[in-house]
């Protein structure tokens, strides 16, 4: 997506159509194609709002450190005694339906 985006013009007018054609030719799982198209649409809208920075794959800050530093505040506002911050790369028990919703800059609150 980053290669298709231009700061001056955004995405090409045929971007979503071209992506659907590419996905149909290269991905056999229809559910995955649907997820890909939804994600691309969301990211396209994000890029239209905030620019190319929306397409960055790494954050310019340490998200984990910010959450750790805000731990007392989060506990008091959520009125819970314990919060565990998991990194998706190392966590072993995160359900797939939750893992699929986590993206950089958008942490997920999972109550288990």
Write out pLDDT tens, residues 19-49: 999 999 998 899 999 988 999 999 999 999 9
User: Which residue carries 């995405």 as its tokens?
Assistant: 11
The angle, 0 to 180 degrees and rounded to 10, between the axes of the packed helices 15-26 and 30-50 is 150
Q: What is the reported pLDDT for 23?
A: 92
- Three-state SS string over the chain comes to CCCCCECCCECCCCHHHHHHHHHHHHCCCHHHHHHHHHHHHHHHHHHHHHCHHHHCCCCCCCHHHHHHHCHHHHHHHHCCCCCCCCCCCCCCCCCHHHHCCCECCECCCCCC
Q: What are phi and psi of 55, to 5 degrees?
A: -95, 0
Q: So what's the pLDDT on residue 10?
A: 92
| Residue 99 reports pLDDT greater than 90 | no
Residue 112 banded pLDDT, cuts 50, 70, 90: confident
pLDDT at 102: 83
Query: Which residues sit opposite 103 in a β-bridge?
Result: 106
């Amino acid at each position: 997506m980053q290669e298709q985006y231009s700061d001056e013009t955004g995405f090409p007018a045929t971007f979503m159509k071209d992506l659907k054609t590419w996905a149909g030719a290269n991905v056999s799982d229809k559910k995955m194609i649907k997820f890909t198209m939804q994600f691309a649409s969301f990211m396209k809208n994000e890029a239209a709002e905030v620019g190319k920075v929306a397409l960055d794959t790494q954050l310019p800050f340490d998200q984990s450190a910010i959450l750790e530093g805000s731990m007392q505040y989060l506990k008091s506002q959520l009125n819970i005694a314990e919060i565990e911050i998991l990194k998706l790369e190392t966590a072993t028990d995160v359900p797939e339906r939750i893992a699929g919703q986590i993206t950089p800059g958008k942490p997920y609150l999972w109550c288990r």
